[in-house]
Chain A
Amino acid sequence: MENKKISLKDGFFKQNIVFMSGLLIAPVIACATTLGKSLAMCLVFSLVSFLTILLCRVIPRKIAYTLRVIIYSLVASAIYIPSVLLTTTVMGGDVIASAGVYLPILVTNSLILSKSESRFYVESFGDMVPDVLCFIAGFDAACIFTGAVREILAKGTIGGAYLDMPFTIPALETTFGGFLFVGIMAGFARGLYNHHKAKLLRAVADEEDELAEYAEDMGEFLTGKKNSEPDKIRIYKPSKKKKDDAPTNILDMDFSDNRSLVEEFAAIVAGGAELSPDESGGDENWSVEESEDMSGEDEGSQESAENKEDNEE
């Protein structure tokens, strides 16, 4: 679930195809000058991209990508026809006409031709659908924001309604105004992301410091010695299988980078497990002999050990 959350954020913000990765910026720069045009473009883009990516998933991967890309473009062009007819009905023909060549070129957008191969078709169908929707929502949000702000600043209106603006910047309607606006917005979006990332890293560093202190206390508690180098303590789980399989049940507790095991171990200690020196190990090796009511946690710790092994693989 956690991974899914991260990937959804990716499409909307972290890998936003307008402000962060720049995969689809031509229509936003040149065409998103009013809210109406932005909305029309978003509607066409959403329908064409979503349905094309969904339909083209069934195309066999045996066909070379240099040829598959043709099918993607043709499918997108076919879906473009009903999409434009629908948008004309909803938004009116004038908006479609004012968008000019920027609606038809959406059939060769990078979300369909590049991102589908590198990301969407690698995922399972269940993961792909929300991921695609988030990427599309990311484009829509960026496009509508750009269109609305440029209309306000360039014309002093929003959606055609007059706003009493003290000044206007007509150059924002032009292509070079679009380049400058989107470039500056992309810089701000990246700055915001970098700031957020630095904040997260600081939080993780603080947490690791706390865990290091906790691990030191834990080592002192286990060995009865101060500065007992807790990073080297190894905990042997009681093997339920043959003795030959024992090494698979070893949990190497590296306190410095494995917080989940530290927490798990703390839970075992707090739950009344008996600690005794391991027979085969030295002074630094301990085994955890669990009481009967700890069986549920044992399964959990087994799972986490397996997960750890999977991750390492």
Chain B
Amino acid sequence: MIGKLKRFGWLMLASMLALIAIGTIAIRSAGLARTETVFHGMWVNNVATAAIGLGFYLMLAFADYRKYLGLLSIPSYALAVLCLVAVLLFGDTVYGGKRWLWFFQPSEISKLCIIVLLASLYGNSAGRSWRFGFRGFLLAGMLVGLPLLLILAEPDLGTALTLVPAVTLMLLVAGIWRKGLVTIITLAGLMGLMVLGAVYEAERPGVSAERRERILKYVPLKAHQVRRVRVFLFPEEDQQGAGYNLRQAKISIGSGGFSGKGLGKAETNHLKYLPQAISMNDFIFCVWAEETGFVGSVALLTLFGLLLFACCHAAFVTDDMQGRLLAFGVSTLVFAHVYINIAMSIGIVPITGLPLPFISSGRTFLITTMCGLGIVQSVTIHREKEIQ
């Protein structure tokens, strides 16, 4: 046990706890601004959830991942897929999407399950050289594709968007059908640009309705997604309608200034200009940034940087491919969330419903992320080849 504590990644734990503390403060601010009193004590719930999450974290950290990974990966994956099917059949519809099953969001859990499954499959491929070829890629494609399609059907584009880079990176690191993969990434990038270009062409001022209709027919996006891309491309238009959220997010962050307005004094939030329904979740960064300013934003980014550094460190020091894939997969997932969430609040990327890890209020996501980091902590602790 003492050996484990010696190898324990303190930085990883400390930065995570610091982020959770920031999240609790931000949730308190966002909650107090709401009319409904039920949200005023939301930060207490967050502390409780974090405590539960910490329990899972320590459990997964001190247990040897190499032992439970093979045991858990396939059943957890199967369970996740079942839940994803169930949510489509029985889920509650909230804000235009079926994401809730009973008390949790299966899509959040499924992301971790997919990463764990891929890590356990491709991290331990001795004697199965076919996995490094096209067939291996095909297998991964099917394993990821099934839950991904289910998630997209909810629809939850944001979750899907964070999963793809995590999986792609894992496959790259694992060396699965590398040349083909690089080609596909390039093509996907090009297609993304084309979609953006097509929406621009269709939505730019002065385009006739028929032409717009004709172009958008070929764009594989739903109407509300097209609207978000439009807001991203033309943020000055329609500031009261579809562009309202982005504008308020930017006003909130921008008016925070260099040193912020002070904790609990985020006016945009308190006066409810910031959309209340998502101020605690997808727009939580705005609350933090308004109250603490650029200083607070940088502090937040630094903490995320330290956390990601610790994860990467774990990936580099371990000799075990499974561990490395896990560390990279989980950290990429966290990074994708952080980047997309903050970037969308300042208009760098189109608005996508996506929480900010450890900061946003959300039980399923917090516990899942802490579990993921717990496994990475386990990789750090159990980095010797043999367990003694």
Q: Do A and B come from one complex?
A: no
List B residues at the A interface (Cβ < 8 Å): none
List A residues at the B interface (Cβ < 8 Å): none
